[in-house]
Amino acid sequence: METHTYQLAQCLIERGHKVIFITNKFKNERSGIRYMANGMKVYHFPHMPVVQGDVAFLSFFNSLPLIRQILIREHIDIVHGHQSTSILQHVVMLAAKSYGIKTVFTEHSLFGYNDFHGIHLNKIIKWSFRDLDAAVCVS
């Protein structure tokens, strides 16, 4: 988990919000639920790594029941995503929107239009974020 999202979560908890993280399993070691400071809960998603530790986008259909269970069990009313290159982030955001949960996304990167990866990532972002409730762009 990035330091900045951890610190953001701690500030939200201090203001009375309940914060959970859904992230990929870490180096095939961390999976399941971990509890952090101030009662923050981290769900390490049990995806099988495919390429460079990431998961296939088609895992949406396999992970939807688990995401649904987490969103319902935790009484989630806002989903906040970071890093557009995270497949899991796209899957959770799409699931949240399909259940009528508000979505917010923070983007820290800029991707060019002059190479294969940038072009296709921009297409995925455009499709995935078409129905966000709010977006934060950091330069």
Domain CATH for 34: 3.40.50.2000
Structural domain of 101:
3-137
The C-alpha atoms of residue 22 and residue 88 are separated, in whole angstroms, by: 8
The C-alpha atoms of residue 136 and residue 139 are separated, in whole angstroms, by: 10
Provide the number of structural domains found in the chain: 1
pTM above 0.85, yes or no: no
pLDDT tens per residue across all 139 residues of the chain? 467 788 888 998 999 999 998 887 766 677 788 888 888 898 888 765 555 555 455 566 778 888 999 999 999 999 998 877 777 888 889 889 999 999 998 887 777 777 887 888 888 888 888 889 998 887 6
